[in-house]
A and B are shown apart, each in its own frame.
Chain A
Amino acid sequence: MEAEALVSGRSIAVAHVNDWRDWVRLLKPRVVSLVVFTGAIGLFLAPGHLHPVLAFTAILCIAVAAGAAGCLNMWWERDIDALMRRTARRPIPTGRIDPDDARAFGVTLAVASVVVMGLATNLCAAFVLAVSILFYVVVYTMWLKRRTPQNIVIGGAAGAFPPVIGWAAVTGSVDVMPLLMFLLVFFWTPPHFWSLSLYACEDYGRAGVPMLPVVAGPRETRRQIFFYTLPLAVVAVLPWALGYAGPVYGVTATVFSLLFCGFALRVLMDRQDMAGRSLGGDWPARRAFRFSLLYLVVLFAALGVDRLV
């Protein structure tokens, strides 16, 4: 029989008692790293000056808020996480963290991040930060995700807020450039997630999540991936075309957007059976997914480099 211990009045197998790493996993650290990067670039590009301590605090608040939103997402989705191979080993479905504890942890971090952001920088940044958390948790996680295959399209806005928050932390307002960065992440999200969902759609189907490949099939998903990369390419070069970024960004955005369109075209042209399922293990979708991560990092890095030169 497995050794059990009394934890918070409950008898739990020692192997299922959480350690600090489980609490870190609740915050989805890999997602947070990308959010921090785009938020930091937004802060770096904004005109004006923010004391390094306050800039660090602003980025920390963005990271904690993203982690809190991820934690509340895991709390709400604990039932479907248990059904999907990719998420079944998360701390809540495995029983290492109690759902109520996770909810309390997420709410505490969310409130703290907004309050500290407001105290350290300004109310505008704190407001946008609060909106981003609510959008991800309430609009995307609780409302859209289980109801519509457009969940990623609309919900993608949640991940697009960080550069706007970074900008607002410095300026106290929202301008055209942060909105262009918002649009860049917004249009990047559907091809990014649909590429993943093409080869993870069995998981989503088992959990009853109406991701596009589950509802409309892989063939339609490939079409949508390709068609979303076209407005993405246009939006990507807009900062340069409108004079908000220089040639370093312009050339980088043009080249990488063309490459992304190429990857999306390969996804579209992937050899398929009659039902639209890939005959080659969905390798074009896997490559498009990996490239999409590189694409976003490179474009935001180019915006930063462009500011320096």
Chain B
Amino acid sequence: MDNFPPRLSAAAAAELHRKQRGRNVAMMVVLGALAALFFAITLVKLARA
């Protein structure tokens, strides 16, 4: 195969990088928020125990 693995132009590589970065940031935010939520739930549950 001539173009495998695919070679990207600078513009396409930048576009791909932007999309991957956006997904990574979103995943980081979701995981951080989930950790904070579980921490808060634990505090509430412990306070009631």
Partners in one complex: yes
Q: A17–B19 contact, CB under 8 A? A: yes
Q: Which listed segment binds B: A49-57, A147-155, A189-197, A289-297? A: A49-57
CB distance from B20 to the nearest CB of A (A): 8
Interface centre among B3, B4, B37 (most CB of A within 10 A): B37
- Other-chain residue from A14, A18, A23, A54 in contact with B12 (beta carbon distance below 8 A): A14
Please name the residue on chain A nearest to B18 by beta carbon: A19
Q: Does A119 contact B (CB under 8 A)?
A: yes
Give the distance in Å from the alpha carbon of A53 to the alpha carbon of B20 in the complex: 32
Does B26 lie at the interface of the complex (its beta carbon under 8 Å from any beta carbon of A)? yes
Query: Which residues of chain A are near B37, meaning CB under 8 Å?
Result: 57, 60
Asked whether A5 and B41 contact (CB < 8 A) given A11-B4, A19-B23, A20-B23, the answer is no
Nearest CB of chain A from residue B33's CB, rounded to whole Å: 9
> Residues of B contacting A53 with CB < 8 Å?
40-41, 43-44
Q: How large is the interface on A (under 10, 10 to 19, 20 to 34, 35 or more residues)?
A: 10 to 19
A-B contact pairs, 23 of them (CB 8 A): A3-B6, A3-B11, A4-B6, A4-B8, A5-B12, A6-B5, A11-B4, A11-B6, A14-B19, A17-B16, A17-B20, A18-B23, A19-B19, A19-B22, A20-B22, A20-B23, A20-B25, A23-B23, A23-B26, A53-B41, A53-B44, A57-B37, A57-B41
Closest Cβ–Cβ distance, residue B49 to chain A (whole Å)? 13
Interface of B toward A, CB cutoff 8 Å:
3-6, 8-9, 11-12, 15-16, 18-20, 22-23, 25-26, 37, 40-41, 43-44, 48
A residues neighboring B (CB under 8 Å): 3-6, 11, 14-15, 17-20, 23, 51, 53-54, 57, 60, 119-120
Q: Which residues of A contact B8 (CB under 8 A)?
A: 3-5, 14
List, in ascending order, chain A residues with CB within 8 A of B48's CB: 51
Chain A residue contacts of B5, Cβ below 8 A: 6
Residues from chain B with Cβ under 8 Å of A4 in the complex: 3, 6, 8
What separation, in Å, do the CA atoms of A206 and B6 have in the docked complex? 38
**Minimum CB distance partner of B43 in chain A:** A53
| Residue of B6, B18, B23, B26 touching A5 (CB-CB under 8 A) | B6
A23→B16 CA distance, assembly (Å): 16
Q: Which residues from A are CB-within-8-Å of B43? A: 53
Q: How far is the CB of B46 from the nearest CB of chain A, in Å?
A: 12
A3 to B6 alpha-carbon distance, docked (Å): 8
When C-beta atoms are compared, the residue in chain B nearest to A119 turns out to be B41
> What's the Cα separation between A234 and B29 when bound, in Å?
46
List residues of chain B with CB within 8 A of the CB of A119. Answer: 41
Q: Is B6's CB under 8 angstroms from A6's CB?
A: yes
Provided the pairs A14-B16, A18-B19, A20-B22 are in contact, do residues A3 and B41 lie with their beta carbons within 8 angstroms?
A: no
Q: Chain B nearest CB: distance from A238 CB in Å?
A: 35
B22 CB to closest chain A CB (Å) equals: 5
Contacts A17-B16, A19-B19, A57-B37 hold; do A3 and B44 have CB atoms under 8 A apart? no
Q: Which residue of A lies closest to B23 (CB)?
A: A20
- Which residue of chain A has the shortest Cβ distance to B39 in the bound complex? A53
- On whether the beta carbons of B12 and A3 are closer than 8 Å, the reply is yes
**Which chain B residues border A5 with CB–CB below 8 Å?**
6, 8, 12, 16
